[in-house]
Structure 1
Amino acid sequence: MNFTLILFILTIVTGVAWLADRFVFMPGRRRRADAALAEFDRQQRAAGTQHALAGNEAASARARVRDEQLRQPWWLEYSASFFPVILLVFVLRSFIIEPFKIPSASMVPTLQVGDFIVVNKFSYGLRLPVLNRKVVPLGDPQRGDVVVFRYPEDESVDYIKRVVGLPGDTVSYQDKRLTINGQPVPEQALPDYFDAERVNYAKQYREDLLGRKHLILNNPSVPPYVLGASQFPNREACQYNDRGVVCKVPAGSYFVMGDNRDNSADSRYWGFVPDRNLVGRAFFIWLNFGDMKRIGRFD
Protein backbone atom coordinates (compact mmCIF):
# COMPACT_ATOMS: atom_id res chain seq x y z
CA MET A 1 0.00 0.00 0.00
CA ASN A 2 1.19 3.55 -0.77
CA PHE A 3 2.89 5.07 2.29
CA THR A 4 1.17 8.43 1.68
CA LEU A 5 -2.20 6.67 1.78
CA ILE A 6 -1.25 4.88 5.00
CA LEU A 7 -0.18 8.19 6.57
CA PHE A 8 -3.41 9.84 5.39
CA ILE A 9 -5.52 7.08 6.95
CA LEU A 10 -3.56 7.33 10.22
CA THR A 11 -4.06 11.11 10.24
CA ILE A 12 -7.83 10.71 9.77
CA VAL A 13 -8.18 7.96 12.39
CA THR A 14 -6.08 9.72 15.03
CA GLY A 15 -7.72 13.05 14.18
CA VAL A 16 -11.20 11.63 14.75
CA ALA A 17 -10.01 10.15 18.05
CA TRP A 18 -8.47 13.49 19.07
CA LEU A 19 -11.69 15.41 18.27
CA ALA A 20 -13.83 12.83 20.04
CA ASP A 21 -11.60 13.02 23.10
CA ARG A 22 -11.55 16.81 23.14
CA PHE A 23 -15.27 17.38 22.69
CA VAL A 24 -16.90 14.21 24.03
CA PHE A 25 -14.73 12.05 26.29
CA MET A 26 -12.67 14.74 28.04
CA PRO A 27 -15.73 16.75 29.22
CA GLY A 28 -17.18 13.51 30.61
CA ARG A 29 -13.96 12.68 32.44
CA ARG A 30 -13.85 16.20 33.88
CA ARG A 31 -17.40 15.88 35.18
CA ARG A 32 -16.53 12.57 36.81
CA ALA A 33 -13.34 14.09 38.24
CA ASP A 34 -15.29 17.02 39.70
CA ALA A 35 -17.82 14.61 41.21
CA ALA A 36 -15.07 12.41 42.65
CA LEU A 37 -13.30 15.42 44.17
CA ALA A 38 -16.55 16.65 45.66
CA GLU A 39 -17.09 13.20 47.21
CA PHE A 40 -13.50 13.17 48.51
CA ASP A 41 -13.99 16.59 50.11
CA ARG A 42 -17.29 15.45 51.64
CA GLN A 43 -15.63 12.38 53.13
CA GLN A 44 -12.83 14.53 54.50
CA ARG A 45 -15.31 16.83 56.23
CA ALA A 46 -17.30 13.87 57.56
CA ALA A 47 -14.13 12.27 58.99
CA GLY A 48 -13.53 15.26 61.23
CA THR A 49 -10.24 16.79 62.23
CA GLN A 50 -8.94 13.67 63.96
CA HIS A 51 -9.39 11.15 61.12
CA ALA A 52 -9.16 13.33 58.00
CA LEU A 53 -5.98 13.48 55.96
CA ALA A 54 -4.01 16.64 56.55
CA GLY A 55 -1.65 18.91 54.68
CA ASN A 56 0.42 17.46 51.84
CA GLU A 57 -1.05 13.99 52.35
CA ALA A 58 -4.55 15.30 51.65
CA ALA A 59 -3.37 17.27 48.61
CA SER A 60 -1.59 14.20 47.19
CA ALA A 61 -4.62 11.99 47.70
CA ARG A 62 -6.87 14.60 46.10
CA ALA A 63 -4.53 14.81 43.08
CA ARG A 64 -4.53 11.01 42.70
CA VAL A 65 -8.33 10.98 42.69
CA ARG A 66 -8.42 13.66 40.01
CA ASP A 67 -5.70 12.01 37.84
CA GLU A 68 -7.44 8.64 38.04
CA GLN A 69 -10.66 10.11 36.67
CA LEU A 70 -8.93 12.16 33.94
CA ARG A 71 -6.76 9.30 32.68
CA GLN A 72 -7.40 8.43 29.03
CA PRO A 73 -8.39 4.87 28.10
CA TRP A 74 -5.50 2.99 26.46
CA TRP A 75 -7.07 3.18 22.98
CA LEU A 76 -7.31 6.98 23.22
CA GLU A 77 -3.81 7.26 24.65
CA TYR A 78 -2.41 5.42 21.60
CA SER A 79 -4.51 7.29 19.04
CA ALA A 80 -5.48 10.82 20.02
CA SER A 81 -2.14 11.46 21.73
CA PHE A 82 -0.22 10.80 18.51
CA PHE A 83 -2.45 12.94 16.29
CA PRO A 84 -0.40 16.20 16.47
CA VAL A 85 2.83 14.37 15.56
CA ILE A 86 1.23 12.38 12.72
CA LEU A 87 -0.48 15.52 11.40
CA LEU A 88 2.82 17.42 11.39
CA VAL A 89 4.60 14.59 9.55
CA PHE A 90 1.73 14.32 7.05
CA VAL A 91 1.73 18.07 6.28
CA LEU A 92 5.53 18.26 5.97
CA ARG A 93 5.76 15.15 3.81
CA SER A 94 2.78 16.01 1.60
CA PHE A 95 3.34 19.71 0.96
CA ILE A 96 6.85 20.82 1.95
CA ILE A 97 9.69 18.26 1.90
CA GLU A 98 10.03 14.51 1.64
CA PRO A 99 13.10 12.29 2.19
CA PHE A 100 14.16 9.63 -0.29
CA LYS A 101 17.01 7.14 -0.54
CA ILE A 102 18.87 6.60 -3.82
CA PRO A 103 18.60 2.85 -4.65
CA SER A 104 20.52 2.64 -7.94
CA ALA A 105 23.50 4.04 -9.84
CA SER A 106 21.50 5.73 -12.61
CA MET A 107 22.35 9.24 -11.33
CA VAL A 108 26.06 8.63 -10.67
CA PRO A 109 28.23 10.72 -10.34
CA THR A 110 25.71 13.35 -9.14
CA LEU A 111 24.00 10.99 -6.71
CA GLN A 112 25.50 7.84 -5.26
CA VAL A 113 23.76 4.64 -4.16
CA GLY A 114 22.77 5.10 -0.52
CA ASP A 115 22.43 8.90 -0.62
CA PHE A 116 19.53 10.16 1.47
CA ILE A 117 18.11 13.20 -0.29
CA VAL A 118 15.51 15.89 0.38
CA VAL A 119 12.85 16.71 -2.19
CA ASN A 120 11.07 20.06 -2.37
CA LYS A 121 7.36 19.15 -2.71
CA PHE A 122 6.04 22.61 -3.61
CA SER A 123 8.48 23.60 -6.38
CA TYR A 124 6.03 22.42 -9.05
CA GLY A 125 2.80 23.33 -7.27
CA LEU A 126 0.81 22.16 -4.27
CA ARG A 127 -0.87 18.81 -4.89
CA LEU A 128 -3.57 16.96 -3.02
CA PRO A 129 -1.99 14.02 -1.20
CA VAL A 130 -3.02 10.53 -2.33
CA LEU A 131 -4.83 11.96 -5.41
CA ASN A 132 -1.66 13.86 -6.46
CA ARG A 133 -3.83 16.46 -8.17
CA LYS A 134 -2.29 19.92 -8.54
CA VAL A 135 -4.45 22.56 -6.84
CA VAL A 136 -2.04 25.52 -6.64
CA PRO A 137 0.39 25.98 -9.57
CA LEU A 138 3.67 27.42 -8.31
CA GLY A 139 6.13 26.54 -11.07
CA ASP A 140 7.21 24.00 -13.65
CA PRO A 141 10.31 21.84 -14.06
CA GLN A 142 13.23 23.42 -15.90
CA ARG A 143 15.91 21.76 -17.98
CA GLY A 144 18.55 20.43 -15.64
CA ASP A 145 16.26 19.93 -12.64
CA VAL A 146 16.70 16.64 -10.80
CA VAL A 147 13.17 15.42 -10.18
CA VAL A 148 11.45 12.62 -8.30
CA PHE A 149 8.35 11.24 -9.98
CA ARG A 150 6.05 8.26 -9.93
CA TYR A 151 7.28 5.76 -12.52
CA PRO A 152 4.76 5.84 -15.39
CA GLU A 153 4.74 2.03 -15.78
CA ASP A 154 4.22 1.40 -12.05
CA GLU A 155 3.08 4.46 -10.11
CA SER A 156 3.72 2.78 -6.77
CA VAL A 157 7.45 3.17 -7.51
CA ASP A 158 9.35 6.48 -7.27
CA TYR A 159 12.10 7.29 -9.78
CA ILE A 160 14.69 10.06 -9.86
CA LYS A 161 16.17 11.49 -13.09
CA ARG A 162 17.23 14.77 -14.67
CA VAL A 163 14.86 16.77 -16.86
CA VAL A 164 16.41 17.31 -20.30
CA GLY A 165 13.31 17.98 -22.40
CA LEU A 166 10.37 20.28 -21.73
CA PRO A 167 6.94 20.15 -23.41
CA GLY A 168 7.37 20.94 -27.11
CA ASP A 169 11.13 20.28 -27.17
CA THR A 170 12.74 18.02 -29.73
CA VAL A 171 15.28 15.91 -27.82
CA SER A 172 17.89 13.99 -29.79
CA TYR A 173 20.30 11.53 -28.23
CA GLN A 174 22.37 10.25 -31.13
CA ASP A 175 25.83 8.69 -30.87
CA LYS A 176 25.70 9.53 -27.15
CA ARG A 177 25.44 13.26 -27.79
CA LEU A 178 22.49 15.28 -26.55
CA THR A 179 20.85 17.86 -28.81
CA ILE A 180 17.84 19.99 -27.85
CA ASN A 181 15.83 21.78 -30.51
CA GLY A 182 18.71 21.41 -32.94
CA GLN A 183 21.30 22.87 -30.54
CA PRO A 184 24.05 20.46 -29.40
CA VAL A 185 24.47 20.51 -25.63
CA PRO A 186 28.11 21.45 -24.83
CA GLU A 187 30.30 18.91 -23.05
CA GLN A 188 33.67 19.40 -21.35
CA ALA A 189 35.81 16.27 -21.06
CA LEU A 190 37.03 15.45 -17.55
CA PRO A 191 39.27 12.67 -16.16
CA ASP A 192 37.78 9.18 -16.43
CA TYR A 193 35.49 8.04 -13.63
CA PHE A 194 35.79 4.62 -11.99
CA ASP A 195 32.35 3.00 -12.10
CA ALA A 196 32.31 0.79 -8.99
CA GLU A 197 29.09 -1.00 -9.99
CA ARG A 198 30.45 -2.15 -13.36
CA VAL A 199 34.06 -2.28 -12.17
CA ASN A 200 35.43 -0.28 -15.09
CA TYR A 201 36.20 3.28 -16.11
CA ALA A 202 33.65 5.52 -17.79
CA LYS A 203 34.15 8.71 -19.74
CA GLN A 204 33.21 11.70 -17.62
CA TYR A 205 31.97 15.04 -18.93
CA ARG A 206 30.63 18.30 -17.55
CA GLU A 207 27.46 18.89 -19.50
CA ASP A 208 26.09 22.42 -19.91
CA LEU A 209 22.37 21.88 -20.32
CA LEU A 210 21.57 25.34 -21.65
CA GLY A 211 23.05 27.04 -18.58
CA ARG A 212 22.71 24.19 -16.05
CA LYS A 213 26.06 22.44 -15.55
CA HIS A 214 26.36 18.93 -14.13
CA LEU A 215 28.46 15.78 -14.50
CA ILE A 216 27.55 12.84 -16.73
CA LEU A 217 29.11 9.47 -17.56
CA ASN A 218 29.38 7.56 -20.83
CA ASN A 219 30.67 4.02 -21.22
CA PRO A 220 32.46 3.61 -24.58
CA SER A 221 31.85 -0.16 -24.57
CA VAL A 222 28.04 0.27 -24.62
CA PRO A 223 26.49 0.80 -28.08
CA PRO A 224 24.49 3.99 -28.70
CA TYR A 225 21.23 2.39 -29.84
CA VAL A 226 18.29 1.85 -27.48
CA LEU A 227 17.46 -1.81 -26.98
CA GLY A 228 14.16 -2.92 -25.45
CA ALA A 229 12.06 0.27 -25.51
CA SER A 230 8.50 -0.44 -24.33
CA GLN A 231 5.21 0.53 -25.97
CA PHE A 232 4.63 3.71 -23.98
CA PRO A 233 2.00 6.43 -24.56
CA ASN A 234 2.96 8.83 -27.39
CA ARG A 235 5.63 6.42 -28.61
CA GLU A 236 4.92 7.66 -32.13
CA ALA A 237 6.62 10.91 -31.09
CA CYS A 238 9.95 9.04 -30.96
CA GLN A 239 12.07 7.67 -33.79
CA TYR A 240 14.63 4.98 -32.97
CA ASN A 241 17.63 4.08 -35.09
CA ASP A 242 21.04 2.48 -34.70
CA ARG A 243 22.47 5.79 -33.45
CA GLY A 244 19.94 6.38 -30.67
CA VAL A 245 16.59 8.14 -30.44
CA VAL A 246 14.89 11.43 -31.33
CA CYS A 247 11.70 12.45 -29.50
CA LYS A 248 9.24 15.33 -29.69
CA VAL A 249 8.08 15.91 -26.11
CA PRO A 250 4.26 16.08 -25.93
CA ALA A 251 2.36 18.78 -24.06
CA GLY A 252 2.16 18.27 -20.31
CA SER A 253 5.09 15.84 -20.25
CA TYR A 254 8.87 15.78 -19.75
CA PHE A 255 11.81 13.84 -21.16
CA VAL A 256 14.16 12.67 -18.40
CA MET A 257 17.53 10.92 -18.37
CA GLY A 258 19.95 9.61 -15.78
CA ASP A 259 23.39 11.22 -15.50
CA ASN A 260 24.92 7.75 -15.78
CA ARG A 261 23.79 7.64 -19.40
CA ASP A 262 24.67 4.02 -20.18
CA ASN A 263 23.33 2.68 -16.89
CA SER A 264 19.92 4.33 -16.68
CA ALA A 265 16.41 3.15 -17.56
CA ASP A 266 14.81 6.48 -18.50
CA SER A 267 12.63 8.22 -21.11
CA ARG A 268 14.60 6.56 -23.89
CA TYR A 269 13.15 3.22 -22.78
CA TRP A 270 9.76 3.84 -21.16
CA GLY A 271 8.69 7.24 -22.44
CA PHE A 272 7.67 10.60 -21.08
CA VAL A 273 6.86 11.69 -17.52
CA PRO A 274 3.39 13.29 -17.28
CA ASP A 275 3.16 16.41 -15.12
CA ARG A 276 0.67 14.62 -12.86
CA ASN A 277 3.39 12.10 -11.92
CA LEU A 278 5.81 14.70 -10.56
CA VAL A 279 6.59 14.46 -6.85
CA GLY A 280 9.11 17.29 -6.45
CA ARG A 281 12.58 18.68 -7.08
CA ALA A 282 15.55 17.00 -5.41
CA PHE A 283 18.15 19.46 -4.15
CA PHE A 284 19.99 18.29 -1.01
CA ILE A 285 21.90 15.25 0.30
CA TRP A 286 21.52 14.97 4.06
CA LEU A 287 23.14 11.59 4.75
CA ASN A 288 25.04 8.65 3.30
CA PHE A 289 26.14 5.97 5.76
CA GLY A 290 28.88 4.87 3.37
CA ASP A 291 30.37 8.35 3.05
CA MET A 292 29.55 10.78 5.83
CA LYS A 293 31.08 13.65 3.84
CA ARG A 294 28.30 13.48 1.23
CA ILE A 295 26.18 16.24 2.70
CA GLY A 296 25.03 19.36 0.86
CA ARG A 297 23.35 20.69 -2.25
CA PHE A 298 23.98 19.21 -5.67
CA ASP A 299 23.65 20.37 -9.29
Structure 2
Amino acid sequence: MREILETILLIAAIYAFVNLATARFVVDGHSMLPNFTTDQFIIVSRLTYLANDPQRGDVVVFHYPLQSDRDFIKRVIGLPGETIDILQGRVYVDGKLLDEPYIDKFCRGTSCDGQWVIGPDQYFVLGDNRGESKDSQDFGPVDREFIVGRAFVRYWPPSDWELVNHPRYDLSTAEVMPTLTPTPTATPEGTPAATSSQMAPSGVF
Protein backbone atom coordinates (compact mmCIF):
# COMPACT_ATOMS: atom_id res chain seq x y z
CA MET A 1 0.00 0.00 0.00
CA ARG A 2 2.86 2.35 0.87
CA GLU A 3 4.55 1.72 -2.48
CA ILE A 4 1.29 2.46 -4.31
CA LEU A 5 0.88 5.75 -2.42
CA GLU A 6 4.50 6.73 -3.11
CA THR A 7 4.00 6.00 -6.82
CA ILE A 8 0.83 8.07 -6.93
CA LEU A 9 2.54 10.99 -5.17
CA LEU A 10 5.51 10.78 -7.53
CA ILE A 11 3.25 10.80 -10.59
CA ALA A 12 1.32 13.77 -9.16
CA ALA A 13 4.55 15.68 -8.47
CA ILE A 14 5.87 15.05 -11.98
CA TYR A 15 2.54 16.07 -13.51
CA ALA A 16 2.47 19.29 -11.45
CA PHE A 17 6.05 20.16 -12.42
CA VAL A 18 5.41 19.55 -16.11
CA ASN A 19 2.35 21.79 -16.00
CA LEU A 20 4.24 24.54 -14.21
CA ALA A 21 7.21 24.32 -16.55
CA THR A 22 5.32 24.00 -19.84
CA ALA A 23 2.05 24.87 -21.54
CA ARG A 24 0.32 23.25 -24.48
CA PHE A 25 -1.32 25.18 -27.30
CA VAL A 26 -2.96 24.44 -30.64
CA VAL A 27 -2.24 26.70 -33.60
CA ASP A 28 -5.36 28.34 -34.99
CA GLY A 29 -5.00 30.38 -38.16
CA HIS A 30 -2.54 31.10 -40.95
CA SER A 31 -0.36 33.85 -39.45
CA MET A 32 2.73 31.61 -39.13
CA LEU A 33 2.60 29.81 -42.48
CA PRO A 34 4.54 28.06 -43.88
CA ASN A 35 6.27 27.15 -40.61
CA PHE A 36 3.20 26.50 -38.45
CA THR A 37 -0.21 25.40 -39.67
CA THR A 38 -3.71 25.25 -38.18
CA ASP A 39 -4.38 22.37 -35.75
CA GLN A 40 -0.72 21.72 -34.98
CA PHE A 41 -0.10 21.17 -31.26
CA ILE A 42 2.95 22.75 -29.63
CA ILE A 43 4.58 22.67 -26.21
CA VAL A 44 5.81 26.00 -24.85
CA SER A 45 8.54 26.27 -22.23
CA ARG A 46 7.67 28.61 -19.37
CA LEU A 47 11.14 28.24 -17.82
CA THR A 48 13.26 29.55 -20.69
CA TYR A 49 12.70 33.22 -19.88
CA LEU A 50 13.09 32.91 -16.11
CA ALA A 51 16.85 33.20 -16.49
CA ASN A 52 17.17 34.52 -20.05
CA ASP A 53 15.64 37.26 -22.14
CA PRO A 54 13.73 36.55 -25.37
CA GLN A 55 16.06 36.58 -28.37
CA ARG A 56 15.52 37.68 -31.95
CA GLY A 57 14.17 34.72 -33.93
CA ASP A 58 12.44 33.07 -30.95
CA VAL A 59 8.94 31.78 -31.63
CA VAL A 60 6.87 32.82 -28.63
CA VAL A 61 3.33 32.53 -27.35
CA PHE A 62 1.94 35.59 -25.60
CA HIS A 63 -1.34 36.98 -24.32
CA TYR A 64 -2.85 39.44 -26.78
CA PRO A 65 -2.41 42.81 -25.00
CA LEU A 66 -5.85 44.08 -26.02
CA GLN A 67 -7.67 40.87 -25.04
CA SER A 68 -5.76 38.87 -22.45
CA ASP A 69 -7.85 35.71 -22.83
CA ARG A 70 -6.52 35.27 -26.39
CA ASP A 71 -3.05 33.86 -27.09
CA PHE A 72 -0.94 34.59 -30.15
CA ILE A 73 2.08 32.80 -31.60
CA LYS A 74 4.62 35.03 -33.37
CA ARG A 75 8.34 35.45 -33.94
CA VAL A 76 10.44 37.95 -31.98
CA ILE A 77 11.94 40.44 -34.43
CA GLY A 78 12.85 43.53 -32.38
CA LEU A 79 14.41 43.81 -28.92
CA PRO A 80 14.18 46.54 -26.23
CA GLY A 81 15.69 49.85 -27.29
CA GLU A 82 15.85 49.06 -31.01
CA THR A 83 14.25 50.91 -33.90
CA ILE A 84 12.37 48.73 -36.37
CA ASP A 85 11.79 50.01 -39.90
CA ILE A 86 9.72 48.09 -42.43
CA LEU A 87 10.37 49.21 -45.99
CA GLN A 88 8.51 47.50 -48.84
CA GLY A 89 7.91 44.62 -46.44
CA ARG A 90 11.57 44.09 -45.54
CA VAL A 91 12.58 44.51 -41.88
CA TYR A 92 15.50 46.72 -40.84
CA VAL A 93 16.83 46.61 -37.27
CA ASP A 94 18.56 49.87 -36.38
CA GLY A 95 19.05 50.42 -40.10
CA LYS A 96 20.36 46.88 -40.87
CA LEU A 97 18.45 44.48 -43.11
CA LEU A 98 17.20 41.33 -41.38
CA ASP A 99 17.72 38.23 -43.52
CA GLU A 100 14.56 36.11 -43.21
CA PRO A 101 14.73 33.10 -45.56
CA TYR A 102 11.67 31.55 -43.89
CA ILE A 103 9.37 34.27 -45.30
CA ASP A 104 7.53 33.55 -48.56
CA LYS A 105 5.91 36.96 -49.04
CA PHE A 106 7.13 40.07 -47.25
CA CYS A 107 4.64 42.78 -48.17
CA ARG A 108 1.19 43.05 -46.58
CA GLY A 109 -0.37 44.60 -49.66
CA THR A 110 -1.25 48.21 -48.90
CA SER A 111 0.63 48.27 -45.57
CA CYS A 112 4.30 47.55 -46.26
CA ASP A 113 6.10 50.42 -44.48
CA GLY A 114 6.39 51.78 -40.96
CA GLN A 115 8.68 52.60 -38.08
CA TRP A 116 8.51 51.57 -34.42
CA VAL A 117 10.75 52.49 -31.49
CA ILE A 118 10.76 49.68 -28.92
CA GLY A 119 10.63 50.65 -25.25
CA PRO A 120 12.25 48.94 -22.24
CA ASP A 121 11.01 45.38 -21.64
CA GLN A 122 9.14 45.39 -24.96
CA TYR A 123 9.47 43.11 -27.98
CA PHE A 124 8.43 43.59 -31.60
CA VAL A 125 6.78 40.42 -32.89
CA LEU A 126 5.69 39.45 -36.40
CA GLY A 127 3.97 36.48 -37.98
CA ASP A 128 5.88 34.55 -40.64
CA ASN A 129 2.93 34.94 -43.00
CA ARG A 130 3.16 38.73 -43.13
CA GLY A 131 0.15 39.14 -45.41
CA GLU A 132 -2.28 37.45 -42.97
CA SER A 133 -0.85 38.21 -39.56
CA LYS A 134 -2.18 40.44 -36.80
CA ASP A 135 1.01 41.41 -35.01
CA SER A 136 3.14 44.33 -33.81
CA GLN A 137 2.48 46.14 -37.07
CA ASP A 138 -1.10 46.43 -35.80
CA PHE A 139 -0.86 46.70 -32.00
CA GLY A 140 2.77 47.72 -31.46
CA PRO A 141 5.52 46.11 -29.35
CA VAL A 142 4.49 43.58 -26.70
CA ASP A 143 5.42 44.02 -23.04
CA ARG A 144 7.46 41.14 -21.68
CA GLU A 145 4.89 40.48 -18.95
CA PHE A 146 2.49 39.20 -21.64
CA ILE A 147 4.92 36.56 -22.99
CA VAL A 148 3.94 33.06 -21.85
CA GLY A 149 7.03 31.25 -23.10
CA ARG A 150 9.17 29.96 -25.96
CA ALA A 151 7.82 27.35 -28.38
CA PHE A 152 9.77 24.17 -27.74
CA VAL A 153 8.36 21.26 -29.71
CA ARG A 154 5.61 20.55 -32.23
CA TYR A 155 4.06 17.22 -31.22
CA TRP A 156 0.81 16.78 -33.17
CA PRO A 157 0.03 15.49 -35.70
CA PRO A 158 2.78 12.86 -35.32
CA SER A 159 3.96 13.39 -38.90
CA ASP A 160 4.84 17.02 -38.00
CA TRP A 161 6.77 16.18 -34.83
CA GLU A 162 9.98 18.21 -34.48
CA LEU A 163 11.82 20.63 -32.25
CA VAL A 164 10.95 24.23 -33.09
CA ASN A 165 13.74 26.05 -34.90
CA HIS A 166 14.73 29.49 -33.61
CA PRO A 167 17.09 31.14 -36.13
CA ARG A 168 19.84 33.58 -35.22
CA TYR A 169 20.87 36.56 -37.34
CA ASP A 170 24.18 38.24 -38.12
CA LEU A 171 23.58 41.96 -38.48
CA SER A 172 27.27 42.89 -38.52
CA THR A 173 27.52 42.42 -42.29
CA ALA A 174 23.88 43.13 -43.12
CA GLU A 175 22.80 45.46 -45.90
CA VAL A 176 22.14 49.04 -44.77
CA MET A 177 18.68 50.52 -45.19
CA PRO A 178 18.54 52.75 -48.28
CA THR A 179 17.95 56.47 -47.88
CA LEU A 180 14.72 57.49 -49.55
CA THR A 181 14.20 60.85 -51.23
CA PRO A 182 10.62 62.11 -50.77
CA THR A 183 8.68 62.52 -54.00
CA PRO A 184 6.89 65.90 -54.13
CA THR A 185 3.18 65.84 -54.84
CA ALA A 186 0.77 68.52 -56.00
CA THR A 187 -1.35 68.25 -52.86
CA PRO A 188 0.81 66.88 -50.02
CA GLU A 189 -1.06 65.15 -47.25
CA GLY A 190 0.09 64.46 -43.70
CA THR A 191 1.07 60.93 -42.82
CA PRO A 192 0.07 59.32 -39.57
CA ALA A 193 2.67 59.04 -36.83
CA ALA A 194 4.41 55.71 -36.42
CA THR A 195 3.16 53.36 -33.75
CA SER A 196 5.43 53.16 -30.70
CA SER A 197 3.75 50.86 -28.18
CA GLN A 198 0.60 48.92 -27.27
CA MET A 199 0.09 41.32 -27.66
CA ALA A 200 -6.75 21.18 -22.82
CA PRO A 201 -4.38 23.19 -25.26
CA SER A 202 -5.43 26.76 -25.85
CA GLY A 203 -5.67 28.18 -29.36
CA VAL A 204 -2.94 30.55 -30.54
CA PHE A 205 -3.39 32.81 -33.55
TM-score surpassing 0.5? yes
1:56-71 to 2 correspondences below 5 Å: none
- Look up the match of 2:159: 293
- Look up the match of 2:76: 163
Residue 100 of structure 1 pairs with residue 25 of structure 2: yes
TM-score where L is the length of structure 2: 0.71
- Look up the match of 1:72: none
- Look up the match of 2:149: 280
- The sequence identity of aligned pairs, in percent, is 32
- Look up the match of 1:49: none
**Are the structure 2 counterparts of residues 87 and 154 from structure 1 closer, same or farther at C-alpha, using a change threshold of 3 Å?**
farther
The answer on whether the counterparts of 1:102 and 1:114 sit within 8 Å (CA) in structure 2 is yes
Residue 217 of structure 1 pairs with residue 86 of structure 2: no
- Equivalent-residue separation in structure 2 for 1:272 and 1:186 (angstroms): 20
SS in 1 for 2:132: coil
The answer on whether the counterparts of 2:116 and 2:140 sit within 8 Å (CA) in structure 1 is no
Could you give the per-residue CA deviations for residues 200-244 of structure 1, whole angstroms, max 9, x where no partner exists? xxxxxx1xxxxxxxx113176x5241xxxxxxxxxxxxxxxxx52
1:162 Cα deviation after fit: 0.1
Give the number of the structure whose residues are more often helix, by fraction: 1
Higher Rg: 1
**Residue among 133, 142, 162 paired with 2:55:** 142
1:87 Cα deviation after fit: 5.6
Instruction: Give 5+ residue unaligned stretches, structure 2.
Output: 1-7, 166-205
The answer on whether the counterparts of 1:171 and 1:248 sit within 8 Å (CA) in structure 2 is yes
- Equivalent-residue separation in structure 1 for 2:126 and 2:106 (angstroms): 15
**Residue among 37, 41, 51 paired with 1:112:** 37
- Equivalent-residue separation in structure 1 for 2:151 and 2:62 (angstroms): 10
1:298 Cα deviation after fit: 2.7
SS in 2 for 1:262: helix
**Are the structure 2 counterparts of residues 297 and 103 from structure 1 closer, same or farther at C-alpha, using a change threshold of 3 Å?**
same
- Look up the match of 2:124: 255
The answer on whether the counterparts of 1:148 and 1:282 sit within 8 Å (CA) in structure 2 is yes
- Equivalent-residue separation in structure 2 for 1:277 and 1:85 (angstroms): 30
1:283 Cα deviation after fit: 2.3
Instruction: Give 5+ residue unaligned stretches, structure 1.
Output: 1-81, 126-137, 188-205, 207-214, 226-242
1:91 Cα deviation after fit: 3.0
1:157 Cα deviation after fit: 1.4
Could you give the per-residue CA deviations for residues 91-144 of structure 1, whole angstroms, max 9, x where no partner exists? 3222x222111011111111111111111110001xxxxxxxxxxxx0000000
SS in 2 for 1:268: helix
TM-score where L is the length of structure 1: 0.49
- Equivalent-residue separation in structure 2 for 1:86 and 1:273 (angstroms): 35
Give the paired residue count. 158
Aligned Cα root-mean-square deviation (Å): 2.0
1:88 Cα deviation after fit: 4.3
Residue 175 of structure 1 pairs with residue 88 of structure 2: yes
**Are the structure 2 counterparts of residues 273 and 90 from structure 1 closer, same or farther at C-alpha, using a change threshold of 3 Å?**
farther
- Equivalent-residue separation in structure 2 for 1:108 and 1:163 (angstroms): 15
Task: For CA contacts below 8 A with separation 6 or more, give which structure has more relative contact order.
Answer: 2
